Amino acid sequence: MATNFMLIFKCLSQTFLLISLLICFPNSLVVCHHDETESPAQSPPLIPQLLTFADQRLAVVYPIIQTFKNIITSDPFGITKTWVGSDVCNYTGFYCDKPPDNLTATVVASIDFNGYQLAAPTLDGFIDQLPDLALFHANSNKFSGIISPKVASLRYLYELDLSNNNFLGPFPTALLTLPGLTFLDIRYNSFTGTVPPMIFIETLDALFLNNNNFIWTLPETLGSTTATFLVLANNKFTGPIPRSIGNASETLTEVLFLNNLLTGCIPYEVGLLRKAVVFDAENNLLTGPLPCSLRCLEKIEVLNFAGNLLYGKVPEVVCELGNLVNFSLSDNYFTYVGPQCRKLIEDGVLDVRNNCIHGLPDQRSLEECALFFLKPRSCLHPSWFTIIPCEVHAPQKRTSSKRYSKRKLVSYAALSRHRRLADYVL
């Protein structure tokens, strides 16, 4: 009898406790029902596990990165497997730093996806949503689509490398509004149409537009460029080399125009590029004689006009340049070289094969040369081709007769689709 009384008292006590909890904490009590038969799979929690971030700005970009991760269609090296958890700064390819506006904060400041071979249909909604991004390097991936106009909001972005991807459409004009952009590399894509003249007014140190499908004439603003490296090769640019190019004499060091459709005569203003080390306009439709102003290119090492429609005498004064190590005039219609130029031929510096120079080997046939000269050819202002706009001293002493390796030059490195040019330039 006592035992039964104790059981009844225990049950009443538990019931009273439960009722009290329900009255005092109606929204906090969780009642679990035990079922002897377990369900085959438990449902995921309705509220995900809370993450703790080192900085609120990292918490803001976390869902942006995760959304981008979900649209990646190929990740051969498993890069995105590291994009887990709140430690965004240790995600592969992401780098954090202090932003200029708050030196106590921690933000995603740069992204380096070079060579990862990631594939995604767009970058829209990704880089344009990372407000503190200063560098984005993505050479040799499989990103596609167009460049969103929203990238104009990236106030700190100063290096952008989208080379060797599958981007298309017109030149991304939103880049013109980036206030701090100094390095732009969009080579080896499928951009089309014209290049906006304003790009040459931007304060860029390096501009690589090669291996796209850009067309139309080069604008006169080209001479306003502040770039040290200007590579426009392997497009479909037409028209003449702008005479304004001489205005870039204080900055332009390497320029590649090769493999385009440029026409007209070589402007004597090219000779004003006193800091130029490389000038390459191979495989175009340039015509006329070589201007004697090229004698002023005292630092030039590579001078290439092969594969054009040039003619006349090769100026002896140009062959006196002491730093020349690769001077190519092959596949033109030159008719004469003097003794100074012949020395360069003997040294393997000057290449004049497949011209119309009597007495030298590997020249065009007489019939081919005669056919070329049947058509009257001339340039405006012929007297300009004899102008030497600098003080000329005795022939420069040659520093080397050995051929220069193109691989040592930034501009030629740009012709290799997998090269990371920021490593060369910066």
DSSP string covering 71-83, please?
Answer: H--B-TT-GGGG-
Handedness of CA 154, 158, 164, 167 (dihedral sign): positive
- 42 has a pLDDT exceeding 90: no
- Residue 421 confidence (pLDDT): 73
Decide if pLDDT at 2 tops 70. no
Q: What is the pLDDT of residue 395?
A: 66
Around Cβ 368, how many Cβ atoms within 10 Å? 12
What distance in Å separates the CA atoms of residue 250 and residue 274, rounded to the nearest whole number? Answer: 7
User: Could you identify the residue written with the tokens 């594939």?
Assistant: 119
CATH number at residue 117: 3.80.10.10
CA distance linking residue 420 with residue 140, whole number of Å: 9
* Domain range enclosing 124: 63-386
Query: Is 131 part of a structural domain of the chain?
Result: yes
In this predicted structure, the answer to whether residue 15 has a pLDDT above a threshold of 80 is no
pLDDT of residue 418: 87
Q: What does the pLDDT average to over 125-149? A: 95
With beta carbons less than 8 A apart as the criterion, state whether 220 and 240 touch.
no
User: What is the pLDDT, as a whole number, of residue 30?
Assistant: 35
Distance (Å, whole) CA 154 – CA 159: 11
Do residues 329 and 368 make contact, with C-beta atoms less than 8 angstroms apart? no
Contact predicate 288/311, CB 8 Å: yes
Residue 203 counted as domain residue? yes
Q: Are strands 135-137 and 107-112 parallel, antiparallel or unpaired?
A: parallel
C-alpha angle 169/175/178, rounded to 5°?
165
Q: 252 falls in which pLDDT band (50, 70, 90)?
A: very high
DSSP 171-225: --GGGGG-TT--EEE--SSEEEEPPPGGGGTS--SEEE--SSEEEEEPPGGGGG-
Q: Which of 384, 211, 410, 152 is closest to 302 using CA atoms?
A: 410
Burial class (CB within 10 angstroms; exposed 0-12, middle 13-18, buried 19+) of 259: buried
What pTM value is reported for the model?
0.85
Judge whether 405 lies within some domain: no
Are 201 and 221 contacting, i.e. CB atoms less than 8 angstroms apart?
Answer: yes
Is residue 218 a part of any domain in this protein?
yes
**Residue 253 in this model has a pLDDT that exceeds 60:** yes
The C-alpha atoms of residue 202 and residue 22 are separated, in whole angstroms, by 70
Q: Is residue 232 part of a domain?
A: yes
Least confident of 25-29, 99-103, 274-278: 25-29
Higher pLDDT, 421 or 357: 357
Residue from 333, 335, 317, 345 nearest 401 by CA: 345
Considering the domain boundaries, does residue 56 fall inside one?
A: no
Confidence of residue 399 (pLDDT cuts 50, 70, 90): low
**If residue 168 lies in a helix (H) or strand (E), which one and from where to where?**
strand 166-170
Q: Residue 267 gets which letter from DSSP?
A: P
Q: What is the largest CA-CA distance in the chain?
A: 134
Residue 378 has φ and ψ, to the nearest 5°, of -160, 165
Q: How many residues does the chain have?
A: 426
Calculate mean pLDDT across residues 77-100.
96
Indicate whether 405 pLDDT > 90. Answer: no
Model pLDDT for residues 197-243, shown as the tens digit of each residue: 999 999 999 999 999 999 999 999 999 999 999 999 999 999 999 99
For residue 250, tell me if it sits in a domain: yes
Residue 180 predicted with pLDDT over 50: yes
The tokens for 236 are 């479909």
Q: Given a cut of 60, is residue 314 above it in pLDDT? A: yes
Lowest-pLDDT range, 44-48, 195-199, 275-279? 44-48
Cα–Cα distance for residue pair 129/355, rounded to 1 Å:
56
Q: Is residue 161 part of a domain?
A: yes
Stronger pLDDT, 292 or 50, i.e. the higher one = 292
Average pLDDT, the chain: 87
Q: What's the total number of domains in the chain?
A: 1
